[in-house]
Chain A
Amino acid sequence: MSLDARVGIVLVSHSAELAEGAAALAAQISGGIVAIIPAGGTDEGQLGTSAAKVQRAMKLADSGAGVVILPDLGSAVLTVRALLGEADDLPTPVELADAPFVEGVVAATVAAAGGGNIEAVLAAAEEARHARKL
């Protein structure tokens, strides 16, 4: 792991537009120095999730410090878990975050931009469950 490697983020959404929009928002808030790779929709461009897209996104997101994956809804978790259980040649470490999608990616990306390790980035994402908007 190089000295300036940052934790990468993968957004797994049933919607390609949702994943891309959340990635763009988080990139702007965190200053554009963290790899945030969207993996939304099926291979055919429909609503759903794709293990192949998630696998490609994980490789793109990894710069040596590991990858945190954020799913939009519970069923995206099934795709990610199946992939993590079956595929080899995946980045390590990998963590699947139990976090709200928008708040989670913003918090995780800012933590990664600040140089946080994978445990800190995962914790930032999961603490987002408790963040109040009002």
Chain B
Amino acid sequence: MPGSYEQAITLTGDLHARPAGALAVAAAKFSSAVSLTVGTSSADAKSVLGVMGLGATSGQDVTVAAHGSDAEEAVAAILAILAEATSVGA
């Protein structure tokens, strides 16, 4: 059943190219549309260039939103990558 789900996370590091790539690869595995919002900017989580273009930095809140049949799983997966990838200074 299609659903919408969203959750925010505070970044503990900057969202650099490598985590952006990991995030986009992970998002592609879900059928749901997944977006990231930082302040007034939003990006398709499946677009690595869009994610990098957010320029999200340590301390900023990122809202992960998904809409579709696997929305909750998609949000959980993306949050996990944001939590891990931005904590190691990748």
Interface of A is mostly: helix
Query: How extensive is the interface on chain B, given as a class?
Result: 10 to 19
Does the CB pair A114–B49 fall under 8 Å?
A: no
1/0 per residue, CB under 8 A from A, across B1-34: the answer is: 0000000000000000110111011111100000
Within 8 A of B (CB), among A119-134: 124, 127-128, 131-134
B55 (CB) vs chain A CBs: closest residue? A134
Contact yes or no, A31 B25, CB < 8 A: yes
A70-85 contact mask (Cβ, 8 Å, vs B): 1 or 0:
0000000000000000
A124 to B28, CA, bound (A): 12
B53 engages A30 (CB within 8 Å): no
Q: Decide if A97 is an interface residue (CB 8 Å cutoff).
A: no
Q: Shortest distance in angstroms between A57's beta carbon and chain B's nearest beta carbon?
A: 22
What size tier do the contact residues of chain A reach?
20 to 34
Asked whether A114 and B29 contact (CB < 8 A) given A30-B21, A106-B48, A107-B47, the answer is yes
Minimum CB–CB distance for B9 against chain A, Å:
21
**B26 contacts which chain A residues (CB < 8 A)?**
114
Interface residues of A (CB under 8 A from B): 25, 28-31, 103, 106-107, 110-111, 113-116, 124, 127-128, 131-134
**Contacts A/B (CB < 8 Å), 27 sampled:** A25-B17, A28-B18, A28-B21, A29-B17, A29-B18, A29-B21, A29-B48, A30-B48, A31-B22, A106-B21, A106-B49, A107-B47, A107-B48, A107-B49, A113-B21, A113-B28, A114-B28, A114-B46, A115-B28, A124-B47, A127-B47, A127-B49, A131-B47, A131-B50, A131-B53, A133-B53, A134-B55
